[in-house]
Chains A and B, each alone.
Chain A
């Protein structure tokens, strides 16, 4: 997956987690929590969905990398670069 494809995947996951939110103007540099009012259970949903969809394992000590879209994509890129986008 390219960084752009990873971003699309995260957006798709976020659209499930926060279905009432308009994600079209999401600022990649700002934190999800600030823009979407995500709480810890929502972040666990992101972790779970990545595990379910792509078998990507994210250890608890790395959860901080999922703060914003840009930090998430940067963190996931080495873990997902060999995954073929559906």
Chain B
């Protein structure tokens, strides 16, 4: 069938496709395992202990970091850098790109982050506490570890990439923002191949946990796998997770020229801002962001089959997003809504990119994975089309819309389609 969207009006060198993804998630270290876990309802949340906060819960990744990085470089760098390096290598290997002969000056790295530097700063302060806060004991590694471009820069160092590299600080909308940046740079001709997405090392900073706890927004549950429960009446807040998801983005013309396998085409995107509150979301702006992405893509809401929601398991956040979705998708009986955080927790800067990745296989397997842990649906979140607890087979999946929102009122929406 011919797709009805704006891509039909664009030349192939302005169309951008995803040709591979490398990822690490608390419940899988490649797309196949991750997808299998999502379809099987397998959580990646576990008991976790961190300095000062003590016993809590987190989504923890367990991948073979030394496969792509020396222990010496791991020691010198950051966890976010290590996650980025893993994801980039995995993505390149899966893309089929002839990496040895790729012009590394034409590769761009665009990595979304919620925050960076908290981990190292906390570690150094903890360390110099043992020396009566004498700053002569403060590490010379602190600055290169904490500069905001660190995760992307470590990827560049490791892979010998000499094109542009930087991070995109966009709170918890950063995963989508990293991908969007990659699309824009390819369209502008700033690079020929983009490694784009997001990473999170946030479980290694006690401050993230402590701040959510003080806000009354940190999840707790006697069973860690039940702790992340967006849309459920008994939700208690956010489970912090680490993770990463980086995509190989290419112009369609380049992907075709090398007969690449194409995971999805990026049809449209939008980023807007609430401008109403530091923390609380604004459903009107969120709906506008969804509508803007649809409009730019030349799409109507009823063309979307799957909406990957951002919902984190906080009462106000879940309710507001559902209100936005109710408005944006009013009367669209064919749309299904799911949530990945219910499995892995909130992977912060990686969330948008990771949550999209888990849905991409639905183009082939035609199944919408569920939102797990919804034992008692909050009526405020009861929108038609929520896929709860069990995956739902769908007839055909052509379009996925991926929501990713963050503090200071940043909203992002990405729409991809089957290719």
Contact = CB atoms under 8 A, between A and B. Distances in A.
Contacts of B139: 48
Majority SS at the chain B contact face: helix
Interface string B87-131: 000000000000000000000000000000000000000000001
Nearest to B127: A52
A19 B141 contact: no
B258 interface: no
B70 interface: yes
Contacts, number: 23
Contacts of B141: 41
Contact of A20 (B72, B136, B137, B140): B72
A41 B140 contact: yes
Nearest to A38: B72
Interface in A34-53: 41, 44-45, 48, 51-52
Interface string B53-76: 000000000000000001110011
Contacts of A48: 137, 139-140
A70 to B, nearest CB: 23
Contact of B71 (A20, A41, A45): A20
Interface residues of B, number: 11
A18 to B, nearest CB: 6
Contact of A52 (B71, B72, B75, B137): B137
Given A41-B140, A44-B140, 5 more contacts: A21-B72, A41-B141, A45-B140, A48-B140, A52-B137
A18 B72 contact: yes
Contact of B72 (A19, A44, A51): A19
B75 A16 contact: yes
B131 A17 contact: no
Interface string A23-43: 000000000000000000100
Nearest to B144: A41
Nearest to A37: B72
Contacts of A52: 131, 137
Contacts of B137: 48, 51-52
B76 A41 contact: yes
The 9 A-B residue pairs with the shortest CB-CB distance, nearest first, are: A19-B71, A44-B140, A20-B70, A20-B71, A20-B72, A18-B72, A19-B72, A52-B137, A41-B140
